[in-house]
Amino acid sequence: MTNKKPIELKDVTLESGVKIKPVYGPDDIKAIDSDADIGKPGEYPFTRGIHPFMYRQRPWTMRQYSGFGTAKETNERFKWLLEHGQTALNVAFDLPTQLGLDSDDPFAEEEVGRVGMAIDTLKDLEEAFEGIPIDRISTSLTINPVASVLLAMYLAVAEKQGIPMDKVRGTTQNDILKEYIGRGTWIFPVQPSIRLIGDMTEFCAQKVPRFNPFSVCGYHIRESGATPVQEMAYAFEIAIAYIEEILGRGLKIDDFAGRIAFNFDIHGNLWEQVAKFRAGRRLWAKIIKERFGAENPRSMVLRMIAGGGGGGLTVQQPENNIVRGAYYALISALSGTQTMALCSYDEAYTIPSKKAALISLRTMQILADEMGLTDTVDPLGGSYYIEWLTSELERRIVETMQQVEDFGGMVKAVETGYIQREVSHQAYIREKKIQSGEIVKVGVNKYVMDEEMGEVEFHPFNPEVVGRQKKSIAEIKASRDGSEVDAALSALKKAAQTDENVMPHLLRAVKAYATLGEITSVFKDVFGEFKEPVGL
């Protein structure tokens, strides 16, 4: 007999810190109860999916982020996407709009129309949705600190199209807590910002029942460096902070929980992502049922858009991102997400070009129509590895949530910068692992090629947009009823100073063509501004 060399296998540890064995079997899932823990799709605890037949009944919604310079350009792109089979719209606003600044604000100048469309008054949103029947599409507005103003504008556009409020469908991103952690478009301090989310949710629960007033974004937290477990845990703690605000107004959990939406990220290890979503569905159902006492099963489901994250894409060898996008879409489908959005291959550089956006859309369509991903529900369910990993990640998500609660909850954790530090520390660790090659990124630290970078087609920035917007603001200010604007803004201020719901006053102000900047100034006067805790 010859001496056999022992087989040496490399260690595998997921980003969330879980060590992975080379083989899983029945012993690994002994503790899992197949009825109570896994259950049937469409039934509590929804581990396998939130609908009984999932994609067999209706494929995922395909939604790509779009929005350019002016309302007119945006309108043309919307119509083009709808003509090509996209089923919902996702609107990008420029940074001044996202931060409540008018296009004629000196601090806005370099950014007007750059990363999305500029909205100064209701007129801009009217133009963006001209000829688009907004009762027949579902629109997602990527806007946070001034989401209440944009919701008011959107409802005003609907009214002008003759569509009653209770027929309006859509989502405002409106997740301010994650802005302090990741995306950086914050204006007001934490507490009044959460109050605005409460006002919107209360108003929607009463008058706009088909609208999702906020979408909690683990996505940006993950993009900012968090692990998949932190992504899920922090998103849930954020959602809990909003829920507590809304419950404090006397609403019942079942009055609004069914409209809570989530936005999650996909990049990295395939199995870790799939298990993350399955664990997230199960845990969220338990939280809503057990902690908040919901009775309606529709309140307990984790409704989500999951997208191929820009963070996984590379500037190097950009065409490789098309392939990554296809795998992210596959992960999204295997995870049972309701809505899918993919970052386009040029997204590491810029907002997507038309060609790149179309490739992303086709990627999702190929998956739905050619590959059998819609045939059967949760095809990975029952796998020893996936079921074990689902339970392991759930345990770790609970543990991370507990750390936040021990700190005093998400509001305090964000006000003091605790979460921001945790996430930026994790980003640094991840970057070091990429630079050392411990985390492999093809084209970046493995299979590197000498290449001419920056050949990607850029969406051109149009410097004329700022001039056009300024002119439009001047014209509107000259022609609107100034006394109605003043009256609406002072009524808004009064409401903001008390605990009166600001939504009816916002509707009045936007219909009078008050500018976004004027409205935001009222809130700044009353609420003040956020002071960023900037330690590392």
Partner 1 sequence: MYNSANLGILEKDKPMDAKRIRVVIAKPGLDGHDTGAKVVAHALKDAGMEVIYTGLHRNIEDIVKTAVEEDADVIGMSIYSGAHLPLSKKLMEQLEQKNISGKVVLIGGNIPKKDIATLKEFGVDEIFSTGSKLDDIIGFIKDRCERIS
Interface residue list for partner 1 (CB under 8 A): 95-96, 98-99, 101, 107-108, 110-111, 114-115, 179, 182-187, 223-225, 314-316, 348-350, 424-425, 427-428, 431-432, 435, 444, 452-454, 458, 461, 524, 529-536
- What span, in angstroms and rounded, lies between the C-alpha atoms of 282 and 300? 9
Backbone phi, then psi, for 408, in 5-degree steps? 115, 10
CB closer to partner 1, 297 vs 310: 310
163 C-beta neighbours (distance < 10 Å), count: 16
Q: Judge whether 388 and 506 are in contact, CB under 8 Å.
A: no
For 47-108, where are the alpha helices, taking DSSP H only? 54-57, 71-83, 95-98
Task: Pick the closer one to partner 1 by CB: 438 or 532.
Answer: 532
Eight-state DSSP code of residue 63: E
| CA trace torsion 533, 191, 111, 514 (10° rounding) | -150
Parallel, antiparallel, or unpaired for β 215-217 and 170-172?
unpaired
H or E element that contains 88: strand 88-91
Element (H, E) at 398: helix 384-407
State the nearest-atom distance from the C-beta of 469 to partner 1, in Å.
Answer: 15
Q: Helix or strand or coil: residue 65?
A: strand
What is the full DSSP assignment across 426-451?
HHHHHHHHHHHTSS--BTTTBS----
Q: How far is the CB of 525 from partner 1 (least distance, A)?
A: 13
Measured at the CA of 522, the angle between CA 507 and CA 526, to 5 degrees, comes to 120
User: Residue 45 or 225: which CB sits closer to partner 1?
Assistant: 225
Cβ closest to partner 1, residue 270 vs residue 348 = 348
Our CB check for partner 1 shows the closer of 97 and 400 to be 97
Closest distance to partner 1 from the beta carbon of 224 (Å): 5
Q: Which residues of 481-514 are buried (b: 16+ CB within 10 A; e: fewer)?
A: eeeebeebbebbbebbeeeebbbbbbbbbbbbbb
Minimum gap (Å) between residue 515 Cβ and partner 1: 17
Report in angstroms how near the CB of residue 68 gets to partner 1 at its nearest: 12
Q: Which of 393, 392, 390 is nearest to 278 (CA)?
A: 390
In the block, residue with structure tokens 């209701």: 122
Provide, rounded to whole angstroms, the least separation between the CB of residue 89 and partner 1.
22
Distance CA 80, CA 257 (A): 34
For the bound state, the minimum distance from the C-beta of residue 196 to partner 1, rounded and expressed in Å, comes to 17
Taken as a whole, the chain contains a residue count of 536
Q: Both tokens of residue 366?
A: 């190929």
Task: Identify which of residues 142 and 339 has a Cβ nearer to partner 1 in the complex.
Answer: 142
- Of 464 and 499, CB closest to partner 1: 464
Separation CA 110–CA 114 (nearest Å): 8
Mind giving me the DSSP string for 256-325? HGGG-EEEEEE-S-HHHHHHHHHHHHHHHHHIIIIIT----GGGG--EEEEEE-GGG--SSSTTHHHHHH
Compare residues 59 and 182 and give the one whose CB is closer to partner 1: 182
Q: How far is the CB of 78 from partner 1 (least distance, A)?
A: 22
Neighbours of 29 (CB within 10 A): 21
Taking the complex as a whole, the smallest distance from the CB of residue 113 to partner 1 amounts, in Å, to 11
Closest to partner 1 by CB, 162 vs 535, is 535
Smallest distance, partner 1 to C-beta of residue 160, A = 30
Residue 419 Cβ vs partner 1, minimum distance, rounded to whole Å: 13
Look up residue 432 and give its amino acid.
Answer: K
| Smallest gap from residue 4 Cβ to partner 1 (A) | 42
Amino acid at 89: L
Contact 445, 432 (CB under 8 A): no
Name 65's bridge partners: 90
CB-nearer residue toward partner 1: 110 or 295: 110
Measure CA of the first residue to CA of the last residue in the chain; give whole Å.
60
Task: For residue 50, count other CB atoms closer than 10 A to its CB.
Answer: 21
